[in-house]
Structure 1
């Protein structure tokens, strides 16, 4: 049984509306009750050990393959099985990411941030290209080791409470960061595992990773500076590191361009 409050209250709806219709490997939901500001789910016990508890390189590599599989499956099924109203409800558009960036620049925390100002100038073109060239898929947005269950037949992502639809590849950015932190698995190995399943070539994958990482950082920073630091004590200390990550991705994107 799982209880969720605030933004986590809609997790059952995400399983119902997105995860299960798109045929993504995930726990089954047997019953749920949705209240105004909270929700309770009775769900499958899909495993007791996650990749954070068993941070072996092989598990991170399989998580990369599973990410490629679920993204391809979601992109292929999206318009076939999801009503337009559901797609519209859960899609985060390129304009929405730019609006989040504007919010950051107007916040008390990050007003006048040099890197965010650089992104304001550079990101519109990159997002336009991303949304034009890459199919919309599902974004977990918390594709971290703690949310990846180890099973006999592979890896099962759990905790889809903040998932949405977008073409960006921020989940792979998260996984690369986690793999390095927990097991020192090289970035190149994660990319190679992802490409074993996906149809994307390395040059294009690197570009998608840069833009996707920036999308993930913008959305995460927006959540932190507009309330997240109050929810998670000490999370304000994450902000400088996230900005540094944004700086690195921006530099990579600039060099590649």
Structure 2
């Protein structure tokens, strides 16, 4: 991806979170070349042990806390460039309702009525942190001292916990861990109350699903062959989260 090196240089590395080191890079108009640290041989898809997924949950908590703390010293222009506001998610939701594929979709219409107040609470109560936006097993490398997330090309700034939502689903798919088991690992680091973390997970899931659906509807299905078949399942997941927050 043409802007991937820039994301590492401007956003990821200044936040001092766990990520591969970039030794050299060349930025071209429509592409880029990076010489990147060899951070590990196996990812969680290749070795889907429950202990690895639990450590990935703890690692996510640690990197989010560190990113939030280091945001204070980051240049305001960089923050503005990568920050996704609550209004941006509402625009994405409106766009979905205007699309040919999803206009008048019932769950989106229902969500439009309740999502704004939850976003308002999220952005008021939860500090901004970094969002990996692809925190899946294939991007989580196993190291002797824990887990290293790679492929930060889609990263941005927001308070939501969409990354944890993705990890919960992956952990259940790959090794049968429950949502509660992943959440308790996260709580080991943060000290949140379970009820509060569960609400954050629900809103984060909605944010991730809306963003992913928007990408699919507005071009993604043309890029990845067969990805249109993902949409019904994503809408089903959206309905499930909606039922949990009302």
Q: What range describes the TM-score normalised by the shorter chain of this pair?
A: over 0.9
Residue 199 of structure 1, CA deviation: 2.8
Residue 64 of structure 1, CA deviation: 0.1
Which of the residues 213, 216, 239 maps onto 2:231? 239
2:59 is matched with 66
**1:24-63 matched pairs, under 5 angstroms:** 24-63=17-56
- Please give the TM-score of this superposition, normalised by the length of structure 2: 0.99
Deviates more, 1:12-21 or 1:85-94: 12-21
Is 1:176 matched up with 2:168? yes
Residue 79 of structure 1, CA deviation: 1.8
Aligned positions, number: 246
Q: 4+ runs of 1 displaced by more than 4 Å? A: none
2:221 is matched with 229
Computed over aligned residues only, the root mean square deviation of the Cα atoms, in angstroms, reads 0.7
For the residue of structure 2 that corresponds to 1:9, the secondary structure is coil
- Please give the TM-score of this superposition, normalised by the length of structure 1: 0.95
Is 1:136 matched up with 2:160? no
Which of the residues 186, 198, 201 maps onto 2:190? 198
Structure 2 residue runs without a partner (length 5+)? none
CA deviations over 1:88-126 (Å, ceiling 9, x no partner): 000000000000111111111101000001111111100
Structure 1 residue runs without a partner (length 5+)? 1-7
Residue 33 of structure 1, CA deviation: 1.2
1:151 is matched with 143
Residue 200 of structure 1, CA deviation: 1.5
1:160 is matched with 152
CA deviations over 1:16-60 (Å, ceiling 9, x no partner): 111111111110001111112211111000111000000010000
